[in-house]
Structure 1
Amino acid sequence: MFTLWAADMWTVNDFPSYAMVSGWSTKGYMACPVCKEDVTSGWHGGKVCYLGHRRWLPWDHEWREKYKEFNGNTERRLRPREWSGDEILERLNRLDFAPFGKTVSRTRPSTHMNWTPKPMFFELPYWLKLKPRHNLDVMHVEKNVFDTLVGTILDIEGKTKDTIKARLNLERMGIRRGLWMNRDSDKARRDLAFFSMKPNDKEEFLKFVSSVKFPDGYASNIARCVNVGGGKFTGLKSHDCHVFMQHLLPMGIRYLLPEDVVKPIMLLSRFFSQLTAKTLRKTDMFQLRHDIVQVLCKFEMIFPLAFFTSMMHVMLHLPEEALLAGPVNYRWMYPIEMYIILIACVCIIITGLLSVECI
């Protein structure tokens, strides 16, 4: 007989669940749980967008002074500061949260910002000293970034961020004149942007993807998810997007898009490839921390502002977490979701057997 003690090192969850366990809502204008209220956000193209990635550049970087290529303003702010566990607990203790219950109003006062009810994890005496306490799930981040990027460069209806609202927003701000609506007399039309594939190139890209074969067990049959006639993908799973982002995308777009668009996308593919490696080096993580800032700043000069969802922004914080917590394959949702699927299959089989015995 002995007493067994266990410690909770951190939580692993998707982005919506992050809000429940961290005490900070991941929706609205302050959705980033790391930057908190110091995040740069705004309403662009009919949605909340997260910009201001030049804040992570060196103080004397030339991109800080450019404004027409970005959001119309120069950038002189420093990067957001980090919050310690003691500061978070002090802030939570000073706020008055409503009790749990279905009949209780959930409207938060403005003083609460995005703080939700205090998480029970703070009852652990060591929770304040842990760093990090919660993990940004790389699996879901990569999946959402892939959907946003591929949907935009392929100009897939319903998936692209290059919409009419996004174009009108740029025109209203007086920036990116090349992406404004083309007006003829009393009509306006949205021409194909320079960062989107032409119809012939799009068909060639989809045919290339449908022709790729992978070894057994490495990836699923991605060719079944390609709709060449419809010009889109259907049924891509998280791991399919993982393989697509790191291997197929940089090869497929190399000669189909302008060089200024291809280079940051290839750098993004390398970012995820190195980040998800089984062995990480500190020097590589420092380089990735530099590279992802460059990628996001280049994307701000290429894509409309509506392109920058919360998932695009949180990529900035992934190298920092890797420096603190180590390889990603111990901190993402792949094994957890596979376990959930396995349990669901077992339950279905048991239910089926019980039904047969009852009959």
Structure 2
Amino acid sequence: MFTLRAAIMWTVNDFSAYAMVSGWSTKGYMACPVCKEDVTSGWHAGKVCYLGHRRWLPWDHEWQEKDKEFDGNTEHCLRPREWSGDEILEQLNRLDFAPFGIVSWTRPSTNMNWTHKPMFFELPYWSKLKLRHNLDVMHVEKNVFDTLVGTILDIEGKTKDTIKARLDLERMGIRRGLWMNRDSNKARRDLAFFSMKPNDKKEFLKFVSFVKFPDGYASNIARCVNVDRGKFTGLKSHDCHVGIRHLLPEDVVKPIMLLSRFFSQLTAKTLRKTDMFQLCHDIFQVLCKFEMIFPPAFFTSIMHVMVHLPKEALLAGPVNYCWMYPIERLLGELKKVYATGRSPKDQL
């Protein structure tokens, strides 16, 4: 007989559940739960977008003084400060929240994006942890893949290069080459330089439909490719683990390939500190190059939180032990059992 004691190291969940367990809302102008109120955000194309990734570059970097290539402004802000657990707990203790079970649709401005005080802070050691809630790399990778592929393939309903995004560029006075093409009383959205031409898209999808991967690396992606309609359908999270190469200008291909290498090295079974520091530098460069390529509407909150993934890997170790893949696979098996009404032994 012995007394078993357990400790919660961190939580692992998707971005929407992150808001419930952390108490910090992942929506609005302060959606980043790491940067908190220091995040750079703005209203673009009818939604909140998150730019300003030059803040993480050295203060004397040449991109800091460029304006038209980015959002029309130079960058002189410092990178967001880091909050300790004790500072967060002290801040939460000063705020007033609605009683448990009562939904409040309005929050005082002093509460920023805090919705409630998490029960985890009742644990005596919780405020001392350097990492309390882990950003799930699986869901981040999936959403980044969907946003990127939907935009470069110009898939209707998934691309971020919409008419609203083009009009937003006109309002900002940047990227004249991407403005709406107006002819007499009509305006049309021409294909952007970062999107594939119809023939190139069909060639790319045909290539992907015949690619073979090692067992366990990805599912049969050929079933997800619709060459005639020019889109992916039914793609699973673990399928997004596969990098993409395509027929695009070199200035567009290079940052995308660097992004693929970023996720490949981040999800390696063995991590080195030097590699993680290099990944921090790489992801800053990638997001800044993306800001020079894609419209502001491209930068959702998920695109932004990539800047925090290498540091969390430094604290928590290899992401293979702190992401949702094992849980999602188990849930998939349980769903099969529920659907068939048979036990796992019967299925075997």
- TM surpasses 0.5: yes
> SS of the residue aligned with 1:216?
coil
Q: Does 1:101 align with 2:101?
A: yes
Describe the superposition over 1:240-259 as per-residue Cα deviations: whole angstroms up to 9, x where unpaired. 1112xx3xx03xx1xx1000
Measured after TM superposition, the shift of residue 113 of structure 1 is: 1.1
In structure 2, the partner of 1:357 is none
Q: Does 1:167 align with 2:166?
A: yes
Measured after TM superposition, the shift of residue 19 of structure 1 is: 0.7
Measured after TM superposition, the shift of residue 106 of structure 1 is: 3.2
In structure 2, the partner of 1:177 is 176
Q: Does 1:319 align with 2:318?
A: no
Q: Is the 8 A contact 1:293 1:316 kept in 2?
A: yes
Q: Distance in 1 between matches of 2:105 and 2:226?
A: 43
Match of 1:268 among 259, 269, 284: 259
Q: Which amino acid aligns with 1:296?
A: L
Q: Percent identity?
A: 86
Q: Is the 8 A contact 1:98 1:106 kept in 2?
A: no
Q: Which amino acid aligns with 2:199?
A: N
Q: Does 1:82 align with 2:82?
A: yes
Q: Distance in 1 between matches of 2:295 and 2:332?
A: 38
> SS of the residue aligned with 1:70?
coil
Q: Distance in 2 between matches of 1:293 and 1:2?
A: 49
Q: Which runs of 5+ in 2 are unaligned?
A: none
Measured after TM superposition, the shift of residue 25 of structure 1 is: 0.5
Q: Which amino acid aligns with 2:195?
A: S
Q: Which amino acid aligns with 2:211?
A: V
Match of 1:310 among 295, 301, 315: 301
In structure 1, the partner of 2:109 is 110
Measured after TM superposition, the shift of residue 350 of structure 1 is: 4.0
Q: Which amino acid aligns with 2:148?
A: L
Q: Is the 8 A contact 1:67 1:74 kept in 2?
A: yes
Q: Distance in 1 between matches of 2:160 and 2:305?
A: 18
Q: Distance in 1 between matches of 2:310 and 2:82?
A: 15
> SS of the residue aligned with 1:91?
helix
Describe the superposition over 1:273-332 as per-residue Cα deviations: whole angstroms up to 9, x where unpaired. 000000000110010000000000000000000000001000000001011111000010
Measured after TM superposition, the shift of residue 215 of structure 1 is: 3.2
Q: Distance in 2 between matches of 1:340 and 1:228?
A: 31
In structure 2, the partner of 1:136 is 135
Q: Distance in 2 between matches of 1:217 and 1:87?
A: 43
Residues matched between the structures, number: 344
In structure 1, the partner of 2:275 is 284
Q: Distance in 2 between matches of 1:235 and 1:124?
A: 41
> SS of the residue aligned with 1:12?
strand
Measured after TM superposition, the shift of residue 216 of structure 1 is: 3.4
TM-score norm. by structure 1 comes to 0.93
> SS of the residue aligned with 2:217?
coil
Q: Which amino acid aligns with 2:174?
A: I
Measured after TM superposition, the shift of residue 111 of structure 1 is: 1.5
Q: Is the 8 A contact 1:51 1:308 kept in 2?
A: yes
Is the deviation greater in 27-36 or in 216-225?
216-225
Is the deviation greater in 106-115 or in 121-130?
106-115
Q: Distance in 2 between matches of 1:206 and 1:351?
A: 38
Measured after TM superposition, the shift of residue 107 of structure 1 is: 1.9
In structure 1, the partner of 2:321 is 330
Q: Distance in 1 between matches of 2:117 and 2:100?
A: 11
> CA distance change for structure 1 residues 273 and 352 in 2, over 3 Å: closer, same or farther?
closer
Q: Which amino acid aligns with 1:334?
A: Y
Q: Distance in 2 between matches of 1:318 and 1:217?
A: 24
In structure 1, the partner of 2:32 is 32
Q: Distance in 2 between matches of 1:229 and 1:336?
A: 35
Q: Distance in 2 between matches of 1:18 and 1:323?
A: 20
In structure 2, the partner of 1:72 is 72
In structure 2, the partner of 1:119 is 118
Is the deviation greater in 214-223 or in 199-208?
214-223
In structure 1, the partner of 2:146 is 147
Equivalent runs, 1:10-25 vs 2, <5 Å? 10-25=10-25
> CA distance change for structure 1 residues 200 and 97 in 2, over 3 Å: closer, same or farther?
same
> SS of the residue aligned with 1:135?
strand
Measured after TM superposition, the shift of residue 352 of structure 1 is: 9.0
Q: Does 1:300 align with 2:291?
A: yes
> SS of the residue aligned with 1:114?
coil
In structure 2, the partner of 1:356 is none
Q: Which runs of 5+ in 1 are unaligned?
A: 354-359
Q: Distance in 1 between matches of 2:145 and 2:343?
A: 38
In structure 1, the partner of 2:156 is 157
Measured after TM superposition, the shift of residue 166 of structure 1 is: 0.4
Q: Is the 8 A contact 2:218 2:241 kept in 1?
A: no
Q: Distance in 1 between matches of 2:300 and 2:262?
A: 18
